[in-house]
Amino acid sequence: MATKILPKYDVAIVEAVVLELAAELDPEHLPPKQFLLEVVGDPHDEREIKTGMQAIDNLRDVGLFTHRDDEFVEPTPAGLRAVDLFARRPERREGSS
């Protein structure tokens, strides 16, 4: 039987949360460590912090976050557009569950 990964350690789930939060905060941009305090449930959970940092790195690697020498977590125009498009999906519209 496969071990189930908790959502807070699932990089793909955390990437989605990180991208959405960064878009909500835009144009405010926080340093990665401060930004992660907004995302993680337990700031003392090293695995959760590592998962969050991996999510930020992955989003930078695919062009959804800017590369700014790890100064700030900042979505690119493509990242902001992706969040906007997903927010408009029919299944997420008001009245849908």
- In which domain, by residue range, is 78 found? 7-92
Residue 48 has pLDDT above 70, yes or no: yes
- 34 belongs to a structural domain: yes
Residue 55 has pLDDT above 70, yes or no: yes
- Which residue, 19, 96, 27, is CA-closest to 52? 19
pLDDT at 12: 94
Angle subtended at Cα 83 by Cα 77 and Cα 89, rounded to the nearest 5 degrees: 135
* Residues 6+ away with beta carbon under 8 Å from 36: 43, 49, 52, 53, 56
- 40 belongs to a structural domain: yes
- How many whole angstroms separate alpha carbon 12 and alpha carbon 18? 10
State how far the alpha carbon of 13 is from the alpha carbons of 1, 7, 27, 71, 94, in Å: 22, 6, 23, 23, 22
Specify the number of domains making up the chain: 1
DSSP 73: B
- 97 belongs to a structural domain: no
- 80 belongs to a structural domain: yes
- 53 belongs to a structural domain: yes
- How many whole angstroms separate alpha carbon 79 and alpha carbon 60? 10
- 1 belongs to a structural domain: no
Residue 24 has pLDDT above 80, yes or no: yes
- 2 belongs to a structural domain: no
The predicted-structure confidence for 74-85, as pLDDT tens digits, reads as follows 999 999 999 999
* Mean predicted confidence (pLDDT) in 36-59: 93
CATH of the domain at 18: 1.10.10.10
